[in-house]
Amino acid sequence: MKTLSICCLIAISLLSAGCGSTTPPASSAPAISQSAPQIHVISKESEEIYRKAVTAYGKGDHLTALQLANDALAKDEQNYQALSLKGIIQAFDVSPEEGIATIHQSLSINPGYVQAFFDMAMAQKLGKHYDESITYFQKVLDQDPKNTWSYYGIATDYADKKDKGKALEYLKKAIDLDPQNVKPQARVQDHFTWLHGDKDFEQLVK
């Protein structure tokens, strides 16, 4: 299914190191003040297992990635990175609602974790909660204004809502940042099928 394939592609790209401005920056703890709670420090052992889970996920091996995410959580139940990864896998392979609940757990531990914002946006999209998905993509953009795939994600949400104006507005923003990768996806994605033949859409993706 084209919709799921691009969702997987985008989600995997965010977990890959060194991807440049097309992906959200690595999460960083906010400055600690007397009024700000300290972000949980993930145990080294749990972090190492999580990294193996990311590698498996990047290869498309969701079953192994989920098992490793659970192993990481067994070592540190507050590993918010592993929770977010587990949640996006659940959203794809079990149910969006289950994934959303798990990603909420991640954000309850680290409310500023950018990867979880993106994972939540994807999970909400899979659940057809388009307004919520847009909200979380925007949270990524607040941290990384040149995040290509968040603009694209918002464009697909608006396309699924049959809002041509907003869909093309955000699609253009994504294309302006990375035309080589975005245009081919937009031409074949199910989200935009209803715009095939529309002169404005065709001009944008040609």
> At the topology level of CATH, where does 1-14+43-130 sit?
1.25.40
pLDDT for 38: 85
User: Which one-letter amino acid corresponds to residue 86?
Assistant: K
Sites in the chain below the pLDDT cut of 70: 1-37
Residue of 196, 189, 119, 118 lying closest to 156 (CA atoms): 189
Angle between helices 114-126 and 130-143 (to 10 degrees): 160
pLDDT for 32: 33
Q: Are 201 and 195 in contact (CB under 8 A)?
A: yes
Q: Are 167 and 155 in contact (CB under 8 A)?
A: yes
The structural domains of the chain, with segments of one domain joined by +, span 1-14+43-130, 146-206
Q: What is the DSSP letter of 26?
A: P
pLDDT for 205: 97
Record the pTM. Answer: 0.84
Over residues 109-146, the pLDDT tens digits come to 999 999 999 999 999 999 999 999 999 999 999 999 99
